[in-house]
Chains A and B, each alone.
Chain A
Amino acid sequence: MSKFSLAVHGGAGTILPKNLTPALEAGYHAGLRRALEVGQEILAKGGSAMDAVTASVCALEDEPLFNSGRGAVFTTEGVQEMDASVMDGRNRMAGAVSGIFGPRNPIRAARAVMENTDHVMLIGPNALKVARDAGLPFEDAAYFFTQERWDALQSTMKMRAEGIEDNDPARRHG
């Protein structure tokens, strides 16, 4: 028997350190903690690493503070495109989806690709079909929209229109 362990990361899109208020910072800590707790609960009961990472990422996708699922950032065209992947260390099985919109938890769509198809990555309509066939919940645009992400898009587009160069690497992070 091994000792279990779990780690998570939760990126917040374009947010610079100077804009991080104490309240916002507390929200990020709480969101990370929740993601750890759901995964830890699975591992403590002898559950699999795959189930733990899936549950933890679902918790992060459900939290609008983080840039994935609900709270995902917007493209230049004002839409959201989501990517996700999973890999199982037992057998190198893997699943991924890219450029999708609709499944509440893109990570579960990626896992459905791994478990229910012969493929590793699917995009577009066929990725969504795999998610639907797996019975995964879908949400509409209102569920995924957050004002903060929309404002960040407008701010970035305005900077670009004004020719302002921003070399802050944080803007290139997901």
Chain B
Amino acid sequence: TVGAVACDVNGNLAAATSTGGMTAKAPGRVGDTPIIGAGTYADNATCAVSCTGHGEVFIRYTAAAEIAARMRHAGQSLEDAARHVVMEDLGKNDGSGGLIAVDAKGNITLPFNCDGMYRGSVTQDGDFETLIYR
């Protein structure tokens, strides 16, 4: 699964996710990637999120939208909300994987609860970073 999230100079957010699914998946099986609120979500008031991992669990916990809900209703920061969803909601319920997320201030977080996640980020300052493991 691949994905991208961005905050532009006007503070607008967007998210995109694309996948071939799991190797040897059952034909017709759909994971979280195309499910808005599970694998992909964006709202300028909170965050943009793109997920990757064990799709069924991400769907059951509406992972992407849950981060926005925590920010909106509990006043959590992007990082705190994303960390809770990845490490607690997903990580303690057989939902291995991770996500990338950005808020309207341009803050980025890339949490995951498995061995590694192929990920990268760049900011307006031109700081490129690509990572696989921790």
Q: Is A87 an interface residue (CB 8 A)?
A: yes
Q: Are A43 and B27 in contact (CB under 8 A)?
A: no
Interface size class of B (residues with CB under 8 A): 35 or more
Which B-chain residue is minimally distant from A91 (CB atoms)? B44
Indicate if the CB atoms of A54 and B16 lie closer than 8 Å. yes
> Does the CB pair A7–B8 fall under 8 Å?
no
Report A-chain residues with C-beta under 8 Å of the C-beta of B120: 7-10, 32-33, 35-36
Inter-chain contact B13/A9, CB cutoff 8 Å: no
- Tell which of A67, A72, A82 has the most Cβ of chain B within 10 Å: A67
In the complex, the answer to whether B122 meets A9 with C-beta atoms within 8 Å is no
Task: Name A92's closest neighbour in chain B (CB-CB).
Answer: B43
Which of A82, A90, A105, A172 makes the CB contact (< 8 A) with B20? A82
Chain B hits for A61, CB < 8 A: 2, 18
Chain A residues within 8 Å of B126, by CB = 40
CA distance in complex: A106, B61 (Å): 25
Residue in A47, A73, A170 whose beta carbon sits within 8 Å of that of B8 in the complex:
A47
Contacts of B25 in A (CB 8 A): 73, 75-76, 81
The reply to whether A2 and B18 form a contact with Cβ atoms under 8 Å apart is: no
Q: Flag B42-57 by CB within 8 Å of A: 1 or 0 each.
A: 1110001010111100
Is the CB–CB distance between B33 and A174 below 8 Å?
yes
Tell me if B14 and A9 are in contact (CB < 8 A).
no
Instruction: Select one of A36, A49, A72, A85 contacting B34, CB under 8 A.
Output: A85
Interface residues of A (CB under 8 A from B): 1-14, 17, 20, 25, 28-29, 32-33, 35-37, 39-40, 43-44, 46-50, 52-54, 56-57, 60-61, 66-69, 71-77, 79-90, 92, 94, 96-99, 105-107, 110-111, 120-121, 149, 152-153, 156-157, 160, 169-174
Which 9 A-B pairs give the minimum distances between C-beta atoms? A72-B20, A89-B13, A174-B1, A169-B96, A89-B42, A60-B2, A49-B14, A56-B4, A49-B6
Residues of B bordering A, CB below 8 Å: 1-31, 33-36, 39-44, 48, 50, 52-55, 96-102, 104-108, 110, 114-126, 128, 130, 132-133
Chain A to chain B contacts (Cβ below 8 Å), 19 pairs: A4-B124, A5-B108, A7-B5, A9-B50, A9-B99, A14-B23, A48-B14, A49-B12, A52-B4, A53-B15, A56-B16, A68-B18, A69-B18, A72-B20, A84-B16, A86-B40, A90-B12, A94-B40, A171-B22
